[in-house]
Amino acid sequence: MDAKQSDVKQSPALKLNFLSHGTLISKDLDTTRQFYTDFFGLEVIRTSDISLMARLGGDHVYAVVENKKHDQEMGFLFHNGLDVASDSEVDAAHKVAVEQKEKWGLSKISNPKTQHGTYSFYFWDMDGNCWEILSNPERGYMWIFEQGDLEGKGHWGQNFEHPGEDK
């Protein structure tokens, strides 16, 4: 019997240790920093005249780089997820986002719904970065990662349940 390709463990080409960061764009670092701290509650430090680093609840950070001429919006599939503990907290966050959209320059705020195994909504910030607020357990998407490879629609299925759902 042949082993599935995913069952065969091979050494990777690169010997890497840690997925440490991602990069976001800012048109104005001072405004972005205030948004990240006052709206999201992120820890933010200034790393240079043109950059910040931001984090929340772990060791993964975002480098935020200023580009005053940036005029493109992040594509929906490249969004950034921020977790809350329950579906009702997603609804509460959605209410705040709608109430404060003018203050922070938020746009395209979707309605919360169950999708890809979580309850969430999306929006774009004043810099064109796309965000998702979603209900997830404490360790984020680790609950789905630990299930291993899924078949069919997997976490995109309509009836796929996740541990963060309010019952």
- CATH label of the domain that carries residue 25: 3.10.180.10
93 and 166 within one domain: yes
- Which of 30, 50, 68 marks a domain boundary? 68
User: What torsion do the CA atoms of 63, 156, 134, 137 make, to the nearest 10 degrees?
Assistant: -100
Q: Where are the beta strands (DSSP E) in 35-153?
A: 43-48, 51-55, 61-66, 80-84, 113-115, 118-124, 130-135
pLDDT tens, residue by residue, 54-95: 999 999 999 999 999 888 898 888 899 999 999 999 999 999
Name the domain count of the chain.
2
Per cent of the chain over pLDDT 90 is 62
In a domain? residue 128: yes
157 and 109 within one domain: yes
Burial 126-163 (b: 16+ CB within 10 A, else e): ebbbbbbbbbbeeebbebbeeeeeeeeeeeeeeebebe
Confidence (pLDDT) at 3: 47
Confidence (pLDDT) at 161: 63
Structural contact between residues 106 and 66, judged by C-beta atoms closer than 8 angstroms: no
61 and 95 within one domain: no
pLDDT tens, residue by residue, 136-167: 877 766 776 777 787 765 655 556 665 654 44
In a domain? residue 50: yes
| Structural domain that includes position 152 | 78-167
84 and 49 within one domain: no
